[in-house]
Chains A and B, each alone.
Chain A
């Protein structure tokens, strides 16, 4: 039996679809191609892919709708492929359950890294019933969830409770983009709209864990979308 991971590629532009599938096949993935929303939905139910690459601009229906329909019954990792400048669209997709997004034009390595992260996440959730590992290490940064200690190059970093909560949230979703709204809801509850507070907290965290806050290594900003903790430095 074929052990390759199956990726459903939903893209109506033939040239792009061709080049992505070439890259994916060369990197030991098996690729199914869909050119429209309906076809994508049909192939998802039929083949149960391990990951979906979804372009939001489709000829027959809105990509967002495809995302909603799939999310109604499946937790398959979905990566949105979108054009630059459509931040609102990205945020919407992420809030509707997309796992990640990648902005056109993108490089091969970037695409593969995103796919790896997404697959790893889904495996984590599927394989371990207790996803709560007790610690995480990224480069020089380590977080010990049991002891609630954050260390940078073996030196303990003092974080306020809110800052620690944000760090935990980002590190539990390492590699994934978390939207501003999502973070705010998780930390402050559903009725608070404290955009400014989040920025201030992030700025403080950055000053504590980054060498140069203007060139962050661990938590990067996705302009207009949210924050992402990198999974490898």
Chain B
């Protein structure tokens, strides 16, 4: 479907006349006969605007009553009405809860997706990437923003401009932005100019070799870096990457910080960045490696005015490290003006979280210390020096850090060790004495050593854990990929994927390969823990899945669209097509975090590849079948034209002989000619009947409509027809005592039996006995026709059931025979999922037999 065109009326302040210009344009369109509909205009618009509205049809507002009464744009009514052009004011508007999309621009995207043209308005401060600049000028933080891609991808942008003085003159009440108006005006013009330069480029691909990278953290100030980079990238027409490094600090982040990180990532995605999450201990090294590998030319980092603390005294600054690692890269530093207090609060919280007390761990610690103390007392008894005791205690601390989880035990153990050692093993014994010169140094050295040991051990441990988690994830992805590679068939791919996602995210999963609106049922993988998964298949959830199919975007719980849905839905995309949708249950407010989403996305691309591969192989098979069918058809045609010519020539010859020699023919010759005509015609009729049978086989599926038939009745019908034609033929028929009901197309199977018996008669002559047998073998009904004739010639075997036999390979006898007949038998039996075979009997004569399955008929016919 053709996407609709978006025209944005863009201004730098309220009151420049955006809405007026838009309505004016709409009016012209309307008068030119375009199907224009007013979707939404602020109800309290100015009188001039209202005057323009007159005459243009308008959609009624959608009234929302919960949680508070308000009027919203009615998206579904607009989609239903499907005009050519719709007017929807205020692009940046945030919808009230209860409306499907959180933002109006999402509504507008849906309209564009179904091919409706849209006119809308937006102010400069609503543009996402300009948000912070505007804030720095006006000191007002605008919450309602529109992602830049909406603006950048608009087909038309009309800048509505007016002298600031005039605006003020016209609208007395607008004073808020008065002082900033010139600056806002400048920014708006620049943005419009950017848009023009963006659109005047012939090719849209980002050709410059500039590639930007911005490092973000869980700090709210990262948003500024992201916006800055977005603007830079836009100006340079360069691609850009947002990188977050997950190191051992990551696990320690509080909920609040994780949320900020998540919102930073979302902001980046909204602004059109590629987001990469890297793992590594040292942020600078990791970033440098990534930058080298992906050809990054510019790196943007935020810099806070942190004073060097004791802990970081000897660590070089991050940017210094980057510079030392990457010599060819430009580094941009964005100052961070965040208020420090806020950050402090976070860190306090962060550590509070860390301190958790567990009796078991504490006992471990006390136990180890007790053992060491006891051991030390023995050693002291044997006069080992106190330096050995110190070493033993450090060993104990090392041990404790290793076997307990959390800093606290290691640190406590180091302090306790100092006390214990001081109390028991340092003069004066059994008393604390820190003030003695030699003691003081020992105590101090020991404390520091113990602390460092403890923290180091702990760090190594967390790193190992982190590495393990990382490795596990990679392994899982690798495993899925490996399994998907060997999996064939859509069902298997879906089940495999579903099982993995369910296992890893520990949530119920639903997978759709087909839009629910077109009858896609979806495969539900239910966890045993949530036995009630019906809600995933409710009408509401299915409509979310449908939306994802239609809009190629994620939706559901934790996103901006269908927030109230109970699951999170992501599309499986491949080359701009939605191959399927994965839904993950988020029941009970458990939305997915960023790493889970990223994981889903990765799985999604693996599945997309698998599905694509499956589709290709299906297509290939289809082509193979098609060519096979084509070959069969042309062979059949060739065979028919060959076989039909002979009897037709006979009929033509005989009839013209009679007509032209009326008087000269004696009665005997006359009758003989007539008999010839009759024989040839009968042969032709049989031929045509055979050909008609083929048309009953379904072209596409090579299948027939089956109904349960009594096999013996079909056999009897065939025999009686044969008897009519060959009254003197010696045929012995045997059917079993048991009644065999076989799903089949009776007429076709009758045809097969007739063909086989006819073939037998032709090859054995009318004198000999022909045996026709029906019996049951396991789950098959077996039909057998055997004769006492000359049998099948060895060289005929390969072509026995072929409709077309290369000339010269055909035995002379079969030139007017059942060549087509047998091949038709074969295709009929195959269409019944039966087996057909032929062999020579040892005592002479040929046997043709076919078996049909007793089960599996369509009972609906």
Which residues of A are interface residues toward B (Cβ below 8 A)? 84-85, 87, 105, 195-196, 199-200, 202-203, 206-207, 212-216, 220-224
CB distance from B493 to the nearest CB of A (A): 40
Contact of B734 among A199, A214, A224 (CB under 8 A): A214
Contact of A87 among B685, B714, B747 (CB under 8 A): B747
User: Given A105-B685, A199-B741, A200-B739, do A213 and B747 touch, yes or no (CB 8 Å)?
Assistant: no
User: Given A200-B739, A223-B747, do A85 and B696 touch, yes or no (CB 8 Å)?
Assistant: yes
**A residues less than 8 Å from B772 (CB atoms):** 214
CB distance from B160 to the nearest CB of A (A): 69
**B residues less than 8 Å from A196 (CB atoms):** 708, 741
Q: Is B267 an interface residue (CB 8 A)?
A: no
A212 and B734 CA atoms in complex are apart in Å by: 8
Determine if A207 and B720 form an interchain contact, defined as CB atoms under 8 angstroms apart: no
Contact of A214 among B692, B696, B733 (CB under 8 A): B733
**B residues less than 8 Å from A220 (CB atoms):** 716-717, 720
- Besides A199-B709, A223-B750, 10 more A-B contacts (Cβ < 8 Å) are A85-B692, A200-B739, A203-B739, A206-B712, A213-B716, A214-B712, A214-B734, A214-B772, A221-B713, A223-B746
Q: Is B616 an interface residue (CB 8 A)?
A: no
For chain B, residues 717 to 759, give those with C-beta under 8 angstroms from any C-beta of chain A: 717, 719-720, 723, 733-735, 737, 739, 741, 746-747, 750
User: Given A207-B737, A215-B733, do A222 and B717 touch, yes or no (CB 8 Å)?
Assistant: yes
A216 and B735 CA atoms in complex are apart in Å by: 12
Determine if A214 and B715 form an interchain contact, defined as CB atoms under 8 angstroms apart: yes
CB distance from A166 to the nearest CB of B (A): 14
Determine if B710 and A202 form an interchain contact, defined as CB atoms under 8 angstroms apart: yes
Residue of B nearest to A84 (CB): B689
Q: Is B774 an interface residue (CB 8 A)?
A: yes
**A-B pairs with beta carbons under 8 A, tally:** 66
CB distance from A74 to the nearest CB of B (A): 32
Residue of A nearest to B708 (CB): A196
**A residues less than 8 Å from B685 (CB atoms):** 105
Contact of A215 among B696, B710, B720 (CB under 8 A): B720
CB distance from B682 to the nearest CB of A (A): 8
Determine if A84 and B692 form an interchain contact, defined as CB atoms under 8 angstroms apart: yes
- Would you mind naming 11 contact pairs between A and B with Cβ atoms under 8 Å apart? A85-B692, A199-B709, A202-B710, A207-B737, A214-B712, A214-B716, A214-B719, A215-B719, A215-B723, A223-B709, A223-B746
A195 and B709 CA atoms in complex are apart in Å by: 9
In the complex, how many residues of chain B place their beta carbon closer than 8 angstroms to a beta carbon of chain A? 28
A87 and B861 CA atoms in complex are apart in Å by: 13
User: Given A84-B689, A84-B692, A85-B747, do A199 and B720 touch, yes or no (CB 8 Å)?
Assistant: no
CB distance from B74 to the nearest CB of A (A): 50
Residue of A nearest to B774 (CB): A214
Overall SS of chain B's interface? helix
**A residues less than 8 Å from B715 (CB atoms):** 214
A214 and B746 CA atoms in complex are apart in Å by: 15
Residue of B nearest to A227 (CB): B713
CB distance from B73 to the nearest CB of A (A): 55
**A residues less than 8 Å from B689 (CB atoms):** 84-85
CB distance from A127 to the nearest CB of B (A): 32
A8 and B284 CA atoms in complex are apart in Å by: 102
Residue of B nearest to A199 (CB): B710
A191 and B713 CA atoms in complex are apart in Å by: 25
Determine if B716 and A221 form an interchain contact, defined as CB atoms under 8 angstroms apart: yes
CB distance from A116 to the nearest CB of B (A): 18
Q: Which of A213, A220, A222 lies at the interface centre, i.e. has the most chain B CB atoms within 10 A of its CB?
A: A213
Residue of A nearest to B735 (CB): A214
**B residues less than 8 Å from A87 (CB atoms):** 746-747
A190 and B750 CA atoms in complex are apart in Å by: 30
Closest 9 A-B residue pairs measured CB to CB?
A214-B733, A221-B713, A203-B739, A223-B746, A214-B735, A199-B710, A223-B717, A224-B746, A221-B717
A84 and B754 CA atoms in complex are apart in Å by: 15
**A residues less than 8 Å from B750 (CB atoms):** 223
A195 and B685 CA atoms in complex are apart in Å by: 32
User: Given A85-B692, A223-B713, A223-B750, do A213 and B741 touch, yes or no (CB 8 Å)?
Assistant: no
A155 and B715 CA atoms in complex are apart in Å by: 28
For chain B, residues 655 to 699, give those with C-beta under 8 angstroms from any C-beta of chain A: 685, 689, 692-693, 696
Residue of A nearest to B718 (CB): A223
Residue of B nearest to A224 (CB): B746
A216 and B774 CA atoms in complex are apart in Å by: 15
A224 and B744 CA atoms in complex are apart in Å by: 11
Q: Which of A199, A214, A221, A222 lies at the interface centre, i.e. has the most chain B CB atoms within 10 A of its CB?
A: A214
**B residues less than 8 Å from A224 (CB atoms):** 746-747
A220 and B714 CA atoms in complex are apart in Å by: 10
Residue of A nearest to B710 (CB): A199
CB distance from A111 to the nearest CB of B (A): 14
Determine if B714 and A213 form an interchain contact, defined as CB atoms under 8 angstroms apart: no
**A residues less than 8 Å from B720 (CB atoms):** 215, 220
CB distance from B580 to the nearest CB of A (A): 40
CB distance from A45 to the nearest CB of B (A): 36
Determine if A213 and B717 form an interchain contact, defined as CB atoms under 8 angstroms apart: no
**A residues less than 8 Å from B737 (CB atoms):** 207
User: Given A84-B689, A196-B708, do A215 and B716 touch, yes or no (CB 8 Å)?
Assistant: yes
For chain B, residues 369 to 400, give those with C-beta under 8 angstroms from any C-beta of chain A: none
CB distance from A180 to the nearest CB of B (A): 10
